[in-house]
Amino acid sequence: MNSYDFIILGAGSAGCVLANRLSQNPDINVCLIEAGSKDNDPRLHIPIGFAFLGDKSKYSWSYDTVPQKEFEKVPVSEPESVAVDSAGGVHKMPNESTEHRKGFQPRGKTLGGSSSINAMLYVRGHKWDYNHWSELGNDGWSYDEVLPYFKKAEHNEEHDNKYHGQNGPLNVSKIRHQPESCDAFVKAGSALFKYNDDFNGEDQEGFGYYQTTQINGKRCSAAKAYLVPALERENLTVLTDTNVNKILIENNSAKGVECIDSENNTIQLFADKEVILSSGAFGSPQILLRSGVGPANEITKHGIDHKVDLPGVGKNLQDHIDYLTVHKYNSINLIGFNLKTIFFKFPLEILKYWFKKTGLFTSTIAEAGAFIKTRDDLKAPNIQYHYAPAMVVDHGRTSVWGTGMSCHSCLLRPKSRGEVTLESADPFADPLIDPKFLSHPDDVKDMIDGYKIMMKVLNTEPFSKYIQEHTQRPVDVNDDADIELAIREDADTVYHPVGTCKMGNDDMSVVNNRLKVHNMNNLRVVDASIMPTLVGGNTNAPTIMIGEKASDMIIEDWNI
């Protein structure tokens, strides 16, 4: 079969929702296309497993950004040169230069997308975020209008009130691994600010414990929540290991897609109703550009026919930049590798997980945190903390011997704006990703303020003992210049890119408030790329909400 009613490009957080909701009608044929493989690796289902996937995992698009001009320069190895001496001898000469540090951008490449490799934190953002979207002219996207979709998606084991759902497919539970250092972090922060038992309730501000998208001690990805229950439906086709090259466009209408399967065969699939892009903040603009949709100068230079002029495709990239402080502390109650943990703790934890689905192997790594304001005049928190009872260095790509802790300080509403574009017309080429981190001076100032408050919390009892032994990168907390240097040396994403196909009515918007692509027919974008501004929190739950809301709009528009 090569013709369907709807073709969904990407089986991530939004794509899985769409596949489930649209295929509920047995008269509608749906095809879901995923570039990655099936999610059958145990590390994708045992919660702590994501920390052991590695930076070259087949389940992740392990992208690098272009060198970030506001980051410090680092040494870069280049190909060896050859020199010939006066006697005719040949000598290989190592070459080394410096360039601005690149960022790392892992994104999910399997069923469930990034919800299958993330830290499973259930965070919606702040009410202000969605009211701001509405104020920008996006009718239907205020907090009161999106809250029903958060609730529709959710089955919350802990909270049963007007802010939470009880019958949705996405299971939300409290953390099952709560070491004493997490308690100490929350107590220290609550002494200076306040305690919050629900970051998704009446008020976001304060210190507390995150909730997690897990069920019975296992990861509850979008694939687990939405796709697995729908797989037996005869009207749903799921294609994995299938790379989308471009959307087939005739007279500004999407007719289908051209794909490359696992055996490198080019195939064409046709959509009778709509093609729906759900390939994320990097994938969706890439596919649009390869299809000839976007700014002309970025399309024609790659030999691609320019079909629809939309200058905003790939622009407006926003991401949460984050700085970690890392400290060594010798305790068997922290996560890490030493003789005690390897020979005594891990065997016990394996048994706890095997028989009870509790303990270390249910860890999200980032288990406690906070939302705080660095200034009293702010309408919503501008800094988020993630506390991890483990030493996390360079996104976990650098192994560290011993035990310890880390704390992230994340800037929630950066003013810097970046872009993503094509490196070439090759459908297998990585995109050129330039978040332009720290390009707005206010971002640096807010991050310095956030760091100072974080260190004040960490130096407060009962947590202070954990940071006294060793600091991965000592910083003078009284010297703003030293804090800024540390940020430029080490800060990077906390994995929340959005905005590259933004929703709106201005010249740089890509979709309208019903997520239909401007100046086109039968094409929508449904994923985090449609966010006009970055929400103040983790982006998985908001992306699932977008999928739920879009599903209703599509069903309404087609009267199905």
Helix, coil or strand: residue 154: strand
| Strand residues in 399-556 grouped as ranges (E) | 402-411, 419-421, 432-434, 470-471, 492-493, 523-525
Whole-angstrom Cα distance, residue 520 to residue 375? Answer: 44
- Sorted by sequence, the CB contacts under 8 Å of residue 243 that are 6+ apart come out as 35, 259, 260, 427, 428
- Amino acid type, 10: G
Which DSSP string corresponds to 187-217? HHHHHHS-B-S-TTSS---EEEE-EESEETT
Helix, coil or strand: residue 285: helix
Whole-angstrom Cα distance, residue 297 to residue 311? Answer: 9
Is residue 126 annotated as part of the catalytic site, yes or no? no
Do residues 256 and 243 lie in contact, with contact meaning Cβ atoms separated by under 8 Å? no
Do residues 60 and 108 lie in contact, with contact meaning Cβ atoms separated by under 8 Å? yes
Whole-angstrom Cα distance, residue 320 to residue 543? Answer: 15
How many other CB atoms are found less than 10 A from the CB of residue 547?
28
Whole-angstrom Cα distance, residue 53 to residue 45? Answer: 12
| 337, containing H or E segment | strand 336-337
DSSP state of 224: I
Annotated catalytic residue within 132, 164, 408, 496: 496
Alpha helices, DSSP H only, in 258-394?
Answer: 280-290, 296-300, 339-340, 346-356
Alpha-carbon distance values, 509 to 138, 500, 522 (Å): 11, 9, 17
Sort 430 into a burial class: Cβ within 10 Å, 0-12 / 13-18 / 19+.
Answer: middle
Strand partners, 76: 97
Whole-angstrom Cα distance, residue 311 to residue 308? Answer: 9
Active site residues: 496
